[in-house]
Structures are given as structure tokens and as C-alpha cells.
């Protein structure tokens, strides 16, 4: 929600989310440059609960200041309910050195463990490596949330055995996303979450918040209803049941 791409329509985005019944949002920072924007949203009077998360996304690990981790600790101390996120490893952008991604990721896991905070994880195209790195920490953290999951059945099994919550975004609405849709069918109620990944992963049939600079539609929290409805259909249950289950899981993981 803190994305500059949404700044001109943010009031409408917030109102639309509340109108369709969104009652809670986890707003994840991606780099030091947007930490203050997430903190500002956390202070705002919104029509739903907003849980902030602060961290460095693997796309943005280059060029960090020498004291970035000290700044992160200070920010987390100032926000006792904040999670650490969005952090992790990435296989989409070859230009970001894998070794540096791991260094920054592990430092943030150490911070999360020391401050007893949940983590929000990114692992696009490196789900296996992400799972291996999180194993020593999983049971020592209050919660592990794997966001935008698109991994294999075997990786899903490993994450569930670690006690992780696994979250599904708009890709579940794509009939060609076979692995994601299979995971939605297989995951137990107790570890399932849903999300939008605003402003990314626009769901088929969704309502765009605006149009990005690339001409593509920007996602928004109100589109959670499309994810909710498709997850319910795939699991042969009702949207109300999925909402109750995932809402309870989100509160347990993040509050």
C-alpha cells in the first residue's frame, strides 16, 4: 500500500478495501526508503487493522548503508507489533548477487529471533533454498509466513512440517497456475493464508486500482475477495468459511 504507484489513489484504495469487507492488512516494507511510509500508514486511522512489517526485500539488498540493520532494529523497537518483512531470497533477478541476498536475509532472521517477531518471506523461484535457510529458525520464531507461494508439493510439505503459514495471492485465479492451485487444495486449514501482494499479482477478473507505468493494472486490497472466492471454489467450501479460517490464522500469526 505504501507504493508510490498508489499514492494518487490511496484514499480510494483504502475505502474500497473496507467496503468489500477487508478487516485486516499486513503492509510489508521492501527497503529502507519505504520504511517511513509504512510507519506512517501504521499510525493512520484506517477502517481496518494494519500490521506493519519492516525489512529489506532481496531485490534491494545492494547499496545498503553500513548501519541498515541498526536502523531496522530501532524501527522494530518503536513498533512492538511489527513483523520483519518482506525478506527472503529471490531467483527472478539474476543481477542481485545470491551471496549478498543470503547475508542480508540471515541477518534479518537473527534480528527477528532476537526481538521475537514473525517473519514474512519471499522465495520466488528459489523455494527450496529458502526452505533450507529457514529450517534452523522456524521453531525459534513466533511465526513464519511464506508469501505468494508457488512452489512444488514437496516444498509445501517441508514448509508445513516446519510449522509455517503459507499464503496464496492472485495467481490462484489463473487456471494455468497448476502448482499454486494444487497447493491450495492440499494445504490444511490451520496453516493457510490469503493475500493480494498489492500492487502486484493482479488477479484475473480483479478491479485495478490504477494503471502502472508499464500499462498493466495495479492490484489493491479490495481484490482479496477474488482470491477468497477462488480458494473457496478449489477447496469445495464457502468464501465465508475460508474468510473465517484465514482470518483466524492471520491473527494468530501476526497479532
Q: DSSP string spanning 188-208?
A: -GGGEEE---TTSSPPTTPPP
Please tell me what DSSP assigns to residue 217: B
- Supply the Cα-derived Rg of the chain in whole angstroms: 17
Model confidence pLDDT, tens digit, residues 168-205: 999 999 999 999 999 999 999 999 999 999 999 999 99
Between CA 16 and CA 22 the distance in angstroms is: 9
pLDDT for the residue 68:
99
Model confidence pLDDT, tens digit, residues 22-41: 999 999 999 999 999 999 99
Model confidence pLDDT, tens digit, residues 197-207: 999 999 999 99
CB of 81 closer than 8 Å to CB of 114:
no
In this prediction, residue 212 has a pLDDT band, given cuts at 50, 70 and 90, of: very high
**The pTM is what?**
0.97
Domains and CATH numbers, the chain: 35-254 (3.20.20.140)
pLDDT for the residue 224:
99
Question: What rounded mean pLDDT belongs to the chain?
Answer: 98
Model confidence pLDDT, tens digit, residues 222-255: 999 999 999 999 999 999 999 999 999 999 999 9
Residues 6+ apart with CB under 8 A from 8: 210
pLDDT for the residue 139:
96
In this prediction, residue 126 has a pLDDT band, given cuts at 50, 70 and 90, of: very high
Task: Give the residue-averaged pLDDT of 9-19.
Answer: 98
Amino acid at each position: 500500500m505504501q507504493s508510490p504507484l498508489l499514492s494518487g489513489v490511496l484514499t480510494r484504495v483504502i475505502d474500497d478495501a473496507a467496503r468489500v469487507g477487508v478487516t485486516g492488512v499486513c503492509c510489508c516494507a521492501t527497503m529502507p526508503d519505504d520504511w517511513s511510509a509504512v510507519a506512517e500508514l501504521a499510525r493512520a486511522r484506517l477502517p481496518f487493522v494494519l500490521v506493519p512489517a519492516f525489512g529489506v526485500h532481496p531485490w534491494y539488498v545492494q547499496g545498503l548503508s553500513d548501519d541498515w540493520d541498526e536502523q531496522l532494529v530501532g524501527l522494530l523497537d518503536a513498533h512492538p507489533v511489527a513483523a520483519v518483512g518482506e525478506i527472503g531470497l529471490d531467483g527472478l533477478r539474476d543481477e542481485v548477487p545470491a551471496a549478498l541476498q543470503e547475508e542480508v536475509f540471515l541477518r534479518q532472521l537473527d534480528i527477528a529471533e532476537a526481538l521475537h517477531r514473525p517473519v514474512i518471506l519471499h522465495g520466488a523461484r528459489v523455494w527450496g533454498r529458502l526452505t533450507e535457510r529457514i529450517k534452523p529458525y522456524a521453531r525459534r520464531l513466533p511465526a513464519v509466513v511464506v508469501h505468494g507461494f508457488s512452489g512444488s508439493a514437496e516444498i509445501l510439505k517441508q514448509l508445513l512440517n516446519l510449522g509455517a503459514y503459507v499464503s496464496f495471492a492472485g495467481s490462484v485465479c489463473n487456471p494455468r497456475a497448476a502448482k499454486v492451485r494444487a497447493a491450495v487444495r492440499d494445504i490444511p486449514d490451520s496453516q493457510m493464508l490469503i493475500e493480494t501482494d498489492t500492487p502486484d499479482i493482479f488477479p484475473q477478473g480483479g478491479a485495478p486500482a490504477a494503471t502502472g507505468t508499464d500499462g498493466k493494472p495495479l492490484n489493491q486490497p479490495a481484490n482479496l475477495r477474488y482470491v477468497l472466492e477462488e480458494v473457496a471454489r478449489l477447496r469445495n467450501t464457502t468464501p465465508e468459511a475460508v474468510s473465517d479460517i484465514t482470518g483466524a490464522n492471520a491473527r494468530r500469526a501476526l497479532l
